[in-house]
Chains A and B, each alone.
Chain A
Amino acid sequence: MSAEIQDALRSEARKLLEEGKVDKILGYCMSGDRVVPCMVYAADEVDKLIYNNRCKINLARYLRECDGRVGVVAKGCDSRAIVELLKAKQLDRSDLFIWGVSCPGMVDSEGRQYRSCSVCTHRNPVVYDGFLGKLVEEKPRLKDDELGLGSRDERMSYWSKQFSRCISCMACRNVCPMCYCKECVLEKKDPEWVARGGDISDIFVYHAIKAMHMAGRCVECGECERACPVDIPLMHLYSRVCRDVEQLFGVEAGMDENDKPPLSVFDLEADAILEENEKNKKS
């Protein structure tokens, strides 16, 4: 299946570049034995492009920094990130040509499926201009209680242990397609919200802020926890807050460009946002 997608992608990419409909194509290629993001500018380079179950990188992260008209490959999570970025006015839809591809669930170099992929409920792309391959069956989502980690005390001790490993390397923030702020509260020096060289309470504050900023916006691509050198299962936190936002405001992140992003539109009446999002869903 991936091989078919890869062939189709190459021929479509060639066509689009030859017709001059896009300036470049953002996709995956090999570098040594690693799958890396890459940019293809000319029709005779399209054979570099690959697609297989190692293409875990969320390309929306790099799309944010592209200018011009870009063709982009989007699996479920990439497409959701694109939707979320469109909602936040960080991308211009008319600049994009999106090839939707369904995702087999990505694996690491030893063939183990990533945790985020094993719980993913949107393997098929939610927005695209062309679709390559076949739709795959979606999995049921985790129940609310499967997202929790027991009592408050248990959660506290679990996350204390996890966070005690954090080295504040910012990889989880920098890799996140949704962290596009020009100035980030996590390392602003004046005022300094999160102390540099602080203690574990500062690390907690760091992660609490990041989680709050992901509320209603995390598209569950898992890039943050894969980027984390010390393997903190960060996505868990963000899935949790997103579930709350969904229950309060009726919107799941990254599903529909016309949804109102609940924490960005100011409305004292939470119910008004909920109603509007429900209406949007029906239409």
Chain B
Amino acid sequence: MKKIKKADVKKFLGDLKKEHEVFAPVDEDGVVEFKRLSKKDEPTLDYVNSVVSPKGFFLPMKEKILGFREANDKIELIDEHEVGGRVLFGIRPCDVNGLLVLDNVAREEYMDPYYLERRQKTILIALECVKPGVDCFCRVFGSGPGLEMGADLVYTDIGDYFLVRVGSDKGAKLLSGSDYFVEASDADEKKAAKLVDECAKKMSNVESSKLKLDLEKIRDKGSWCLNCYSCTFICPTCYCFDVVDRMNPKGCEGQRIRCWDSCMNPQFTLMAGNFNPRNKKVDRFVNRIRHKLEYMRDRYGVFGCVGCGRCVRECPSHISMLEIIQEGVR
């Protein structure tokens, strides 16, 4: 294993920028979001996690998936997706696991070429957690605070240095060409493992394998849900989208756009004839919870929640996913 001096991280990122677009968490007026690093940006590496999950780098809030044009009685289609090489630096273990969840969805039956291309062309440099946020509960799903797989490099804060573990060939290549990395000692490795372990111990733990949802309690909580889309939009594993066509005023040229949608939206399940199978607010809430904690588990063998705590932190009604899980395990 290797390590890098904290002071050298910026230089390392500077080198990466020569060949890739580099994104890292940046604190702007108290809001931490992944941002393409410019010269003056200082990456924030002691953050809990970004307000909005970095899933948007793979499944953007909106993306053109197709252009179309009609000319001389012919219809021309323009393939719109094109992505360059990118590096996401400082992504948290829960969010890496969030991507592993999304991979299942993108690969099931119909491949999602837009998502998968971005995945393939993006290098993930993860940052393990040594201090849990107030609402973090990744320990429940084993999706943090340490990271086993899913990233190309894994950093751990051990004081003056970051310990650096290689997770893939791509990751190894980044190291081999760089002068900033030195050999880490056994003590460094032990220290990192201890810090991550202590971090985990500060978090709630329930045995998710014993989960059996208490639907009555969930409905009760759901009665306070305001059906906004905050929890679904900021969640690293929510992937629902809508597809819309935008035409120019003459109607002979346009774009097909895919944008985030939310199961909390009453129109999400609205059908022709005005029938809506999930007509009530609380039904939509129950669906969201069951999708994450039951349907995805049954379908892909992984929970659709990675315990990032975002929805707990931001819910205007203060509904807690962790509490729902705890009530389902007791």
> A residues touching B (Cβ–Cβ < 8 Å)?
31-32, 34-37, 57, 61-62, 109, 165, 167-171, 173-175, 187, 189, 195-198, 223, 226-227, 229-231
Interface residue B259 (Cβ < 8 Å from any Cβ of A): yes
A-B contact pairs, 26 of them (CB 8 A): A32-B320, A34-B318, A35-B318, A36-B224, A167-B234, A169-B229, A169-B230, A169-B233, A171-B228, A171-B230, A171-B314, A174-B227, A175-B316, A187-B265, A187-B267, A196-B62, A196-B244, A198-B62, A227-B230, A227-B314, A229-B230, A230-B31, A230-B52, A231-B29, A231-B30, A231-B31
Interface residue B92 (Cβ < 8 Å from any Cβ of A): no
Bound-state Cα–Cα, A169 to B29, Å: 20
Given A167-B233, A174-B227, A174-B228, A197 and B244 contact (CB-CB distance below 8 Å):
yes
Chain B: minimal CB distance from A156 (Å): 18
Bound-state Cα–Cα, A187 to B310, Å: 24
| Chain A residues within an 8 Å CB radius of B112 | none
Chain A: minimal CB distance from B54 (Å): 13
Closest to B323 in A: A32
Closest to B64 in A: A197
| Chain B residues within an 8 Å CB radius of A227 | 228, 230, 314, 316
Bound-state Cα–Cα, A44 to B313, Å: 31
| Chain B residues within an 8 Å CB radius of A169 | 228-230, 233-234, 262
Chain A: minimal CB distance from B261 (Å): 8
Bound-state Cα–Cα, A189 to B244, Å: 11
Closest to B313 in A: A229
Closest to A231 in B: B31
Interface residue B258 (Cβ < 8 Å from any Cβ of A): yes
Closest to A173 in B: B228
Chain B: minimal CB distance from A108 (Å): 11
Task: Tell me how many residue pairs across A and B have CB atoms closer than 8 Å.
Answer: 93
From B51, B134, B318, contact of A36 by CB (8 A): B318
Given A187-B265, A196-B244, A229 and B234 contact (CB-CB distance below 8 Å):
yes
| Chain A residues within an 8 Å CB radius of B29 | 231
Q: Which of A31, A109, A230 has most chain B Cβ within 10 Å?
A: A230
Q: Are A196 and B316 in contact (CB under 8 A)?
A: no
Q: Are B226 and A174 in contact (CB under 8 A)?
A: yes
Interface residues of B in 120-136 (CB under 8 A from A): 134
Bound-state Cα–Cα, A226 to B265, Å: 21
How does the 8 Å CB contact mask read for B136-154 relative to A, with 1 for contact and 0 for none?
Answer: 0000000000000000000
Q: Are A197 and B259 in contact (CB under 8 A)?
A: yes
Interface residue B214 (Cβ < 8 Å from any Cβ of A): no
| Chain B residues within an 8 Å CB radius of A197 | 61-62, 242, 244, 246, 257-259
| Chain A residues within an 8 Å CB radius of B224 | 36-37, 62
Chain B: minimal CB distance from A37 (Å): 6
| Chain B residues within an 8 Å CB radius of A231 | 29-31, 51
Bound-state Cα–Cα, A227 to B61, Å: 19
| Chain A residues within an 8 Å CB radius of B258 | 197
Bound-state Cα–Cα, A45 to B30, Å: 40
Q: Are B230 and A37 in contact (CB under 8 A)?
A: no
Given A62-B224, A175-B228, A226 and B267 contact (CB-CB distance below 8 Å):
no
Bound-state Cα–Cα, A196 to B262, Å: 12
Interface residue B317 (Cβ < 8 Å from any Cβ of A): yes
How does the 8 Å CB contact mask read for B186-209 relative to A, with 1 for contact and 0 for none?
Answer: 000000000000000000000000
How does the 8 Å CB contact mask read for B207-237 relative to A, with 1 for contact and 0 for none?
Answer: 0000000000000000010111110011000
Interface residue B33 (Cβ < 8 Å from any Cβ of A): yes
How does the 8 Å CB contact mask read for B293-330 relative to A, with 1 for contact and 0 for none?
Answer: 00000000000000000100010111110010000000
Bound-state Cα–Cα, A174 to B285, Å: 14
Q: Are A109 and B134 in contact (CB under 8 A)?
A: yes
Q: Are B31 and A165 in contact (CB under 8 A)?
A: yes
Chain A: minimal CB distance from B44 (Å): 15
Bound-state Cα–Cα, A34 to B313, Å: 10
Bound-state Cα–Cα, A196 to B323, Å: 33
| Chain B residues within an 8 Å CB radius of A165 | 31, 33
Q: Are A61 and B229 in contact (CB under 8 A)?
A: no
Closest to A58 in B: B316
Q: A36-B318, A196-B62, A197-B259 are in contact. List 4 more A-B contacts (CB 8 A).
A: A57-B316, A171-B229, A227-B314, A229-B51
Q: Are A175 and B226 in contact (CB under 8 A)?
A: yes
Q: Are B246 and A195 in contact (CB under 8 A)?
A: yes
Bound-state Cα–Cα, A34 to B314, Å: 12
